[in-house]
Amino acid sequence: MTHIPRPASARLAPVEADPLAASELAETLAKTVFRNGPVLNIMGTLAHQPTLLKRFNALGGAFLTHGLLPPREREIVILRVGWNCRSVYEFGQHTLIGREAGLSEGEIAALATIRAGGPWSADDEALIALADELCGDDCVTDATFAALRRRWSDAELVELVALGGFYRMVSGFLNALGVEPEPGLPGWPPSAA
């Protein structure tokens, strides 16, 4: 499959709200700060449409802080979707989060390869297949769903499919608008193929 070249620079500059201003946008952006740092470029770019930014934060927060899925498994899906969508920004942000969730450097690197080879459990392999199939054809095969069904409840299955779809959308947003990674954000692992 041939991929459209990603923009070499940001197509929209991130909005920089005055943190001292009493505005809904400044308040919303203040809630997006990650690791006590500055507002991430993704959030600043979304801030061009403040209503969307606010709703995006709510849905993203549902996955990252209020979800049913264990962080490690959630990050397997997000990283694999980011790689499938060729979103270096998404992969870099979730490399950091994936490390905190317990993924090893080897596992993260494997998620950025064609076969995602590694010492994955059967449950992990089903998560990787879910991400690959959603990105490949917007559906999941019966075999993958049956493998997922063995471990996950109905509510968790809904969350897994929504998670993959949400981060596919996020990756497309990042790619199409050329959102630039923050300085020091990891890129693709050296083994990425």
Give ranges for CATH 1.20.1290.10 in the chain.
Answer: 71-177
Backbone angles phi, psi at 134, to 5 degrees: -60, -40
- Write down the number of H helices and E strands in the chain: 9, 0
pLDDT for 1 equals 61
Query: C-alpha distances in angstroms, 9 versus 65, 88, 178?
Result: 31, 13, 6
User: Looking at the chain, how many residues does it have?
Assistant: 193
Q: Does the structure show a pLDDT above 90 at 22? A: no
Report the alpha-carbon distance of residue 129 to residue 118 in Å, rounded.
14
How high is the pLDDT of residue 36? 66
CATH architecture of structural domain 71-177? Up-down Bundle (1.20)
Q: How far apart are CA 4 and CA 87, in angstroms?
A: 12
Q: Where are the beta strands (DSSP E) in the chain?
A: none
Residue whose pair of structure tokens reads 């197509």 in the numeric block? 11
**What tens digit of pLDDT does each residue of 113-171 get?**
988 888 899 999 999 999 999 999 999 999 999 999 999 999 999 999 999 999 999 99
Residue 5 DSSP label: P
For the chain, the average pLDDT equals 92
Asked if 63 and 159 touch (Cβ cutoff 8 Å), the reply is: yes
pTM of the model: 0.92
